[in-house]
A and B are shown apart, each in its own frame.
Chain A
Amino acid sequence: EVQLLESGGGLIQPGGSLRLSCVGSGFTINNDAMSWVRQAPGKGLEWISSISGRTYGTHYADSVKGRFTLSRDISKNMVYLQMNSLRADDTALYYCAKVVRWNQIFDAFDMWGQGTMVTVSS
């Protein structure tokens, strides 16, 4: 089955770090722009970061800029979201998503993973 699979979430204390991973299962994501979108419990969707498919250029929402870093490893067909200086308001379900058109970083998302939960609490 073609799908995106996220991992790496968990319970972390404020100020801590986590690294989320997203792998393309059954297909390659290496040419596609990839993004992370989060959803706090009972809240709406918030885009947080994207990485282009070819140049590996990255973009971040102001809410995470300077704290989160998005990267990719083409040998593993994966993207990583390194999250530092975590705060309580980072608590959310984090989704990995793929764009409709591989060569456009700003595009609609036609495939989403199931998400990985990050809880920031002492």
Chain B
Amino acid sequence: EILLTQSPGTLSLSPGERATLSCRASQTLDRNSLAWYQQKPGQTPRLLIYDASSRATGIPDRFSGSGSGTDFTLTINRLEPEDFALYYCQQYGSSFSFGPGTKVDI
């Protein structure tokens, strides 16, 4: 089973700042099979990024993903008020697993 760790656990920022979230896999992910999701309280997860760096349909370009192998990053440029939420990474290179999440709050 591939384990994912996310850091930091909580990121305290202000609107307009840049958020950098990290996700590390316990093994190399085939085909950079890593996705990022955003979840707000009481809402379903929303796909932001797949294949490590491809933005999902309708996702603003202030969201970007990078990385390969075992280390991946989600960057949110110029935080908007609606971006304060919980973010999960997920690997699908070998079955599935999710990271524990990073909370981005004000």
Q: Which chain A residues have a beta carbon within 8 Å of chain B's beta carbons?
A: 35, 44-47, 50, 59, 61, 95, 100, 106-110, 112-115
Contacts and interface: CB of A to CB of B under 8 A. Distances in A.
A112 B57 contact: no
Contact of B101 (A44, A50, A109): A44
Interface of B: 33, 35, 37, 39, 44-47, 50-51, 56-57, 88, 90, 92-101
A4 to B, nearest CB: 9
Given A44-B88, A112-B45, A115-B44, A106 B56 contact: no
A106 B96 contact: yes
B44 A44 contact: no
A108 B35 contact: yes
Contacts of A45: 37, 39, 45, 88, 90, 98
Contacts, number: 57
A110 B45 contact: no
Contacts of B33: 106-107
Contact of B98 (A47, A59, A100): A47
A109 B91 CA distance: 11
Residue from B35, B92, B96, B100 having most chain A Cβ neighbours under 10 A: B96
A102 to B, nearest CB: 14
A93 B57 CA distance: 25
B92 A108 contact: yes
